[in-house]
Structure 1
Amino acid sequence: MAVVSIGSFTLESNHTLHGVTLAYERCGERDAPAILVCHALTGDQYSVGTEEKPGWWAGLIGPGKAVDTNRFQVITFNILGGCNGSTGPQSIDPETGEPYRASFPLLTIRDMVQAEHAALQKLGINHLAAVIGGSLGGMKTLEWGHLYPDFVDTIFPLAVTPAYSDYGIAFNHIGIQAIEGDSNFNGGNYIDSTQLNGFRIARMAGMVTYRSSEMFNGRFGRDHNGKQFDVESYLTYQGEKLAKRFDANSYVTLLKAMNTHDVREAKVETEILSLSFTNDLLYPQELMVPWLKELPKASWELVETDFGHDGFLVEFEKWGGHIQGKLNSLLVSHSVQ
């Protein structure tokens, strides 16, 4: 696992974390223009992955694909507050010698972006051709455009809105209450996340928002296996699957950070190509497009899909061309092909 240390890092809350590290994946030639990819809530740094274990955006990124690693280098960090190698609640607090657990400080989306900016500089990357991300990663992408307009040429915020919707905050509240209200949570001092039925319930609630009712109804059709409906079995499986691979304290930390997202009044002068997806319950295009219309360098597309919010993780043939076309124009305009 590749890890970069950024040392002590002060958050927006003025709390300072010490010995901060960010795990990352880096693909492509080191002298190629750099693209930063930002993962979603429970994602990780393996956006490309390997032939044996493809990453979560392997359909979009790779040799000859929409994000062409023959022409660009691609960097993805595991998010600050995450649980796949970056500093987060499972990390050891150097001041106590014990894991942070629930004592890990509150984060903002801006904190995450500023940490990654510091990490890029440690890696010798002083400019980005683009930042791309969806959902929570889209929130970070918008913050990149606001905070570092001279550092990045173009941003691609996908399946996101300038501020997190009340609908999204409502489901985050359900998830947080389910986890923290579980008696086994023990103030964040549980042994492992698989103990927490509240964590599984939180994930199930979230899964309902990620896809459209058309997708659920079409996939499950009220099928029943004799004990439960197939949709019930599916949600139970998804809850158990996440509890085995993710940390509940990280999940709570990141949900609370998502709630802070709001760049509606921020100055964003970076060139933007935004993609919204039909049937996205959490980030509807009607909350994004009016804001984009007020920006000097923004364009957008609406992608038709029954997948709803999860559209940014699938059906690359429907929307990858928009990304590819803009990246090709970047290469031409900067004469770096």
Structure 2
Amino acid sequence: MIRVGLLLLLSLSVLPGAWAQTSFPAPVEGDVVVKNFRFKSNEVLPELRLHYRTVGKLERDAQGKAKNAVLVMHGTGGSGAQFLRADFSERLFRAGGVLDATKYFIVLPDGIGHGKSSKPSDGLRAGFPKYGYRDMVEAQHRLLQELGVNHLRLAMGTSMGGMQTWMWGELYPDFMDALMPLASLPGPISGRNRVWRRVVIDAIRNDPEWQQGNYKQQPPSLRTAEQMLFLMGSNPVIRQQQMPTLQKSDEVLDKYVSDALKTADANDLLYQVSASRDYDPAPGLEKIKVPLLAINSADDLINPPELQILEREIKRVPKGKAIVIPLGPETVGHGTHTIAKVWDQHLAALLKETERR
């Protein structure tokens, strides 16, 4: 989810008190602190705080194996809170929903560097360990262990979380019954996907006012970075409808950036976008044992279907399937991954296919 996994969710955060009005059990928030967490860079953080939200209650089978746990991973710049938006949670977590929270135990973690988990802006700034996606997945695994989850009914994620879903299937192939990555590709960050990330990274790193991460106020390059995130986040049809004139285009863009700058931090964003450097599940796709359903949308500027990467690589996943949802009135570009009504019927079919009998 580039800030809904970066994008759509910036202005749609969940407010305290809103949970009481939902049609599903109230989320429970908490933190797990991992002592002396060693990153793949060999850096060590004495205390890594992992924030999470859970919805529902964990159930086990007669052998003590968790049987109803669902892990949902967010995108770049997001947090687990984004999945409490009505168009996701009210559709999926409600009674009778595909992920009915009276039946499932849903875990919504904040990834390293995101939300209320440990991140550069907590104080270490550019001294924070240089984390990658592999570190984030390992931390998620540690979090689940602390929560008593020794098996997943389903692992799914959006954008960055979708990419980490592929990694879960390779790194912990026996840990889940099913996988559903959304808005992602099973290959390295390359081409235009790398270019927009480099624009963000270079804008911040080459800004004299960034001061090697020790700025006293946010550097001007953060504005350029936010503009790039806006550019990549939606489809051209919606943008044209929103911004039919030059004046309206400037107005909408300026409003988005102004709102984003109220909470954004240059170091946090730099780390978040840079973390994708170690992502490449392509060499190990055959290691994925369980049924995997990958869902993308045809209007996703970050993962365009004309590349044919998903269609080609899914054939290497033993039990893999892929669906590309066509452009339509309910798709919103990359952020379609969080509009559950567009794809929840496919999730229902995956859960039915992988039901324990």
Provide the secondary structure at the position in 2 that maps to 1:2: strand
User: What are structure 1's unaligned runs of at least 5 residues?
Assistant: 92-98
Determine whether 1:86 maps to 2:117.
Answer: yes
1:251 maps to 269
2:48 maps to 20
Q: Are the equivalent residues in 1 in contact too, given 2:157–2:165 (CA < 8 A)?
A: yes
1:150 maps to 174
| Distance across 2 between alignment mates of 1:29 and 1:170 | 43
1:3 maps to 31
Q: Are the equivalent residues in 2 in contact too, given 1:165–1:283 (CA < 8 A)?
A: no
| Distance across 2 between alignment mates of 1:112 and 1:184 | 29
Q: Are the equivalent residues in 2 in contact too, given 1:35–1:75 (CA < 8 A)?
A: yes
Amino acid of the residue matched to residue 66 of structure 1?
V
Q: CA deviation at 1:76?
A: 1.0
Determine whether 1:112 maps to 2:129.
Answer: no
Cα deviation digits, residues 165-185 of structure 1 (max 9, x gap): 321110011111222333432
Amino acid of the residue matched to residue 176 of structure 1?
I
1:168 maps to 193
1:269 maps to 289
Q: CA deviation at 1:103?
A: 1.6
Q: Are the equivalent residues in 2 in contact too, given 1:153–1:270 (CA < 8 A)?
A: yes
1:303 maps to 325
Q: CA deviation at 1:307?
A: 2.0
Q: CA deviation at 1:122?
A: 0.9
What's the Cα RMSD here? 1.9
**How is 1:206-285 mapped onto 2 (pairs within 5 angstroms)?**
206-222=229-245, 224=246, 229-266=247-284, 267-285=287-305
Cα deviation digits, residues 197-227 of structure 1 (max 9, x gap): 31122111122112222221233222x5xxx
Q: CA deviation at 1:21?
A: 1.4
| Distance across 2 between alignment mates of 1:217 and 1:166 | 25
| Distance across 2 between alignment mates of 1:205 and 1:101 | 23
| Distance across 2 between alignment mates of 1:55 and 1:217 | 25
**How is 1:91-102 mapped onto 2 (pairs within 5 angstroms)?**
91=122, 99-102=123-126
Amino acid of the residue matched to residue 168 of structure 1?
N
| Distance across 1 between alignment mates of 2:203 and 2:250 | 18
CA shift in 2, pair 1:67/1:246, >3 Å = farther
Determine whether 1:125 maps to 2:149.
Answer: yes
**How is 1:196-215 mapped onto 2 (pairs within 5 angstroms)?**
196-215=219-238
Task: Number of aligned residue pairs: give it.
Answer: 313
Q: CA deviation at 1:77?
A: 0.8
| Distance across 2 between alignment mates of 1:324 and 1:151 | 20
Would you tell me which structure has more strand in proportion to its own residues?
Answer: 1
Normalised by the length of structure 1, the TM-score is: 0.87
| Distance across 2 between alignment mates of 1:60 and 1:291 | 30
Give percent identity, aligned residues only. 27
Provide the secondary structure at the position in 1 that maps to 2:53: strand
Q: Are the equivalent residues in 1 in contact too, given 2:87–2:341 (CA < 8 A)?
A: no
| Distance across 2 between alignment mates of 1:115 and 1:151 | 15
Provide the secondary structure at the position in 1 that maps to 2:262: helix
Q: Are the equivalent residues in 2 in contact too, given 1:132–1:155 (CA < 8 A)?
A: yes
Q: CA deviation at 1:282?
A: 1.2
| Distance across 2 between alignment mates of 1:55 and 1:9 | 35
- Once structures 1 and 2 are overlaid, which stretch shifts more, 113-122 or 100-109? 100-109
| Distance across 2 between alignment mates of 1:279 and 1:138 | 17
Determine whether 1:35 maps to 2:58.
Answer: no
| Distance across 2 between alignment mates of 1:59 and 1:171 | 33
Cα deviation digits, residues 252-285 of structure 1 (max 9, x gap): 1111112331111013223201101102121123
Q: CA deviation at 1:59?
A: 4.4
| Distance across 2 between alignment mates of 1:67 and 1:196 | 42
Would you tell me which structure has more helix in proportion to its own residues?
Answer: 2
| Distance across 2 between alignment mates of 1:120 and 1:56 | 26
Provide the secondary structure at the position in 2 that maps to 1:162: coil
| Distance across 2 between alignment mates of 1:255 and 1:218 | 29
